[in-house]
Amino acid sequence: MRPAFDDPDAGRAVARHLGIDLHETTGAGGPIRITGHCPAHDGTRDVHGVVHSGILTAVADIAAGIASGLASLPRWIVSTDLLVARLRTHVVGPIGIDAEVLRVGRTAAVTRVRAVDHGADGAPLATGSLTASLLVPEGGPPDHPRPFRLAPIDPPADGPRSLDGFFRLTRDGPAPGDVRLDLVDDLRNPWGILHGGATAVLVAETAEHAARRRLGGRWYSGDTVLHFLRPARSGPVVGTGRVLGERPDGAVVAVTVRDAGAGDRAVAEAIVTVRRP
Amino acid sequence: MADADATIGVSYPPAHHVLRSLGYGVEHRPDLTSTAHLSVGPHLLGGTGEVTTGALATLVDATGGGLAALAARPDWIATSGLTLHLLAPVRAGAVTAEGRVVRRGRTTVVLAVDLIVDAGRPVGTATMTFAILPRRDTNPVMAPLDAPVRHEFRPLDDAHLADLAAAIGIEVGPDSIRAPMSPFVVNTLGAMQGGVVAMLVAGAATTAADRIIGEPTVCVDLAIDYLALAKHGPVRAEARVLRTGSDWAQFEVEVRDEGGDDRRTALARAVAVRVGTPGAER
């Protein structure tokens, strides 16, 4: 399908929920750079009030994806690998984000991304990288004015939805231990497929849920290696986690994400190191 | 990434090479799965008595590289990412690497490689991403497989090594770890082999973690983005601490090619844990 780049609202619901505000801050002659921030509001936090690791990964995906795309013009990109290490559990907010393109090659781009806690004297929150494949989109790339700006959209008058509510997450469905995401339009990107940030939230929640069931107690996703394999178009999208083993720094969980409405095909695979708070 | 028999038209690896010194055999199958076996010897053990993370990463890279080259044919490949998560130490016996293609797209190949011992006990899991490159005349030729093909990578002169790291020429300094570029570590693109780069990353992380924790550590997680080919050398890895726990530490590791204008050739994150920590498999 042709991406809905001409409609400024299409595929922007995830960014709107996050309240993300991004600017291009590319220096003269320097690599493409995107910086910005987003609030750590209640709709980004789990039932314990902790900012969900999937949110940090989603923010990284959005900022690094835009930076990679701008650096790849006149082509555009599709995210393939997202690696994010979470460095702190407690987040005051707002969350600062900084994405800098490291390399654009013939077929791929690599962008480094870092997040800090502006409410905690800029303490590092996460660091990671996005690898993206370059492609020639049907109808051309998005026509973003430069320098790029993604302005926040006003949140709903009654406040942001809960994390589970916005991302349509259901635990232990369809099978015990699975986490299900209903693929509503709010969770699609401008290409009409499941947003990479929503995939990241599903992966993190699946890993943490698997660790809770298998090992007991609270866990959060520390280090995430996420491979985007294919687009999820139909839904529901189901995450299945498997605890591979425990170590002094946490436990290692393998996560497979499948599009149940598209023949149950795998759309993402991830390895997540989960840690105790 | 590949070898020098009937499958491949260009001789690789050379007679004296890290892959031969590693000492492993691999079978690639038409269904694009592979199985490699590595016999544990003293040359693979670190100071903790465990097979080094670098040696396991090299096994993963070599197994995955051969498999990806088959998946990408007739084009060629370059490693763009490698992640490795270790679950338990390996001190003796043999390690089996089971590789499978997770996805073959137009521009990338994604693989998973599981490391197992003792008839199925998992000790690690890895993923690799490869960029598909238009083939050049200098690239090895990968013939299509219609039956399983086995390759053995052994030292040709029976001169088994006492220490793989020493053979590579790895030097450990107070703030960094480096290795020279040589035919012993070259890959099919004329650059430092991805597994050897992983050795440097793991070495930089454990060197820094040993100092922070005050006891021997071992690298259990690697996540490497390969950014450019390291063709000149020496190649240097420096670790910067990101986070510490009571028994572990996490680092960002930069790899630079000193002889290539000090260009950044890889960026990685690594976790090292104290050896012998109670209450866990490791």
Q: Token match 């930069």: residue? A: B254
Contact list in B for residue A245 (CB cut-off 8 A) is 87-88, 122, 281
Instruction: Say whether the peptide bond before residue B13 is cis (omega within 30 degrees of 0).
Output: yes
Compute φ and ψ for A144, nearest 5 degrees. Answer: -85, 130
Which residues lie closer than 8 Å to B8 by C-beta, 6 or more apart?
B2, B140, B141, B142
Pairing of strands B121-133, B76-86: antiparallel
Taking the C-alpha atoms of residue A241 and residue A239, their distance in angstroms, rounded to an integer, is 7
Compute φ and ψ for A194, nearest 5 degrees. Answer: -55, 130
Q: Token match 């690799």: residue? A: B128
The pLDDT value recorded for residue A4 is 61
Which CATH number is correct for B18-134+171-274, 2.40.160.210, 3.60.15.10, 3.90.1150.10, 1.10.1740.10?
2.40.160.210
Helix (H, G, I), strand (E, B) or coil at A146: coil
Contact list in A for residue B279 (CB cut-off 8 A) is 248
CB within 8 Å: A85 and B220: no
CB within 8 Å: B83 and A271: yes
Instruction: Identify the closest residue of chain A to B85 by CA–CA distance.
Output: A252
Considering only CA atoms, which of A261, A250, A272 is closest in space to residue A202? A272
- Report the alpha-carbon angle A80-A85-A90, nearest 5: 135
CA A147, A191, A52, B112 torsion-angle sign: negative
Contact list in A for residue B267 (CB cut-off 8 A) is 102, 110, 112, 129
CB within 8 Å: A249 and B271: yes
Taking the C-alpha atoms of residue A194 and residue A260, their distance in angstroms, rounded to an integer, is 13
Give the E-state strand segments of A46-94 in sequence order: 76-86
CB within 8 Å: A245 and B122: yes
How much is the ipTM here? 0.92
Instruction: Say whether the peptide bond before residue A137 is cis (omega within 30 degrees of 0).
Output: no
Nearest to B280 among A131, A247, A269 (CB): A247
Cβ contact B269:B252 at 8 Å: yes
CB within 8 Å: A273 and B227: no
Instruction: Tell me how close the Cα of B262 comes to any Cα of chain A, in angstroms.
Output: 15
CB within 8 Å: B248 and A249: yes
CB within 8 Å: A229 and B102: yes
Length reported for chain A: 277
The pLDDT value recorded for residue B3 is 36
Nearest to A127 among B80, B242, B281 (CB): B242
CB within 8 Å: A248 and B122: no
Alpha-carbon distance values, A131 to A80, A105, B100, B165 (Å):
6, 11, 21, 30
| Three-class secondary structure assignment of chain B | CCCCCCCCCCCCCCCCCHHHHHCEEEEECCCCEEEEEEECCHHHECCCCCECHHHHHHHHHHHHHHHHHHHHCCCEEEEEEEEEEECCCCCCCEEEEEEEEEEECCCEEEEEEEEEECCCEEEEEEEEEEEEECCCCCCCCCCCCCCCEEEEECCCCCCCCCCHHHHHCCEECCCCEEECCCHHHECCCCCECHHHHHHHHHHHHHHHHHHHHCCCEEEEEEEEEECCCCCCCCEEEEEEEEEECCCEEEEEEEEEECCCCCEEEEEEEEEEEECCCCCCCC
Gyration radius from chain A CA atoms: 17
Compute φ and ψ for A274, nearest 5 degrees. Answer: -95, 150
Nearest to A246 among B133, B225, B280 (CB): B280
Q: Which of residues 92-151 of A touch B (CB under 8 A)?
A: 102-103, 105-108, 110, 112, 124, 127-129, 131, 133-135
Considering only CA atoms, which of A199, A69, A195 is closest in space to residue A143? A69
The pLDDT value recorded for residue A7 is 63
Instruction: Identify the closest residue of chain B to A113 by CA–CA distance.
Output: B267
CB within 8 Å: B271 and A223: yes
Instruction: Tell me how close the Cα of A160 comes to any Cα of chain B, in angstroms.
Output: 32
Secondary structure letter of residue A3 according to DSSP = -
Taking the C-alpha atoms of residue A6 and residue A96, their distance in angstroms, rounded to an integer, is 28
What is the identity of the amino acid at B43?
H
Contact list in B for residue A89 (CB cut-off 8 A) is none
Q: Residues in chain B with pLDDT < 50?
A: 1-10, 278-280, 282
The pLDDT value recorded for residue A12 is 85
Q: Which residues of B215-249 are buried (b: 16+ CB within 10 A; e: fewer)?
A: ebbbbbbbbbbbbbbbbbbbbbbbbeebbebebbb
Domain boundaries, chain A: 13-154+162-275
Structure tokens, B222: 């690697």
The pLDDT value recorded for residue B279 is 40
CB within 8 Å: A81 and B129: yes
Show pLDDT as tens, one digit a residue, over chain A (277 residues): 556 656 666 678 999 999 999 999 999 999 999 999 999 999 999 999 999 999 999 999 999 999 999 999 999 999 999 999 999 999 999 999 999 999 999 889 999 999 999 999 999 999 999 999 999 988 888 888 999 999 998 777 888 899 999 999 999 988 999 999 999 999 999 889 999 999 999 999 999 999 999 999 999 999 999 999 999 999 999 999 999 999 999 999 999 999 999 999 999 999 999 999 9
B interface with A, Cβ–Cβ below 8 Å: 80-81, 83, 85, 87-88, 102-103, 105-108, 110, 112, 122, 125, 127, 129, 131-133, 220-221, 223, 225, 227-228, 242-243, 245, 247-248, 250, 252, 264, 267, 269, 271, 273-274, 277, 279-282
Interchain CB contact of A265 with B (< 8 Å): no
Cβ contact A55:A208 at 8 Å: no
Compute φ and ψ for B128, nearest 5 degrees. Answer: -140, 145
Considering only CA atoms, which of B181, B229, B177 is closest in space to residue B201? B177
CB within 8 Å: B127 and A131: no
Torsion of CA A192, A196, A202, A206, to 10 degrees: 130
Considering only CA atoms, which of A243, A240, A255 is closest in space to residue A216? A243
Instruction: Identify the closest residue of chain B to A77 by CA–CA distance.
Output: B107
CB within 8 Å: B102 and A112: no
CB within 8 Å: A107 and B273: no
Instruction: Identify the closest residue of chain B to A89 by CA–CA distance.
Output: B243
Nearest to B107 among A102, A133, A244 (CB): A133
pTM beyond 0.80: the answer is yes
| Topology of the domain covering A13-154+162-275 | Porin (2.40.160)
Cβ contact A33:A24 at 8 Å: yes
- What number of other Cβ atoms are within 10 A of residue A237's Cβ? 26
Cβ contact B197:B226 at 8 Å: yes
CB within 8 Å: A245 and B132: no
Nearest to B273 among A244, A249, A266 (CB): A249
Interval B57-116: pLDDT, tens: 999 999 999 999 999 998 988 889 999 999 999 999 999 999 999 999 988 999 999 999
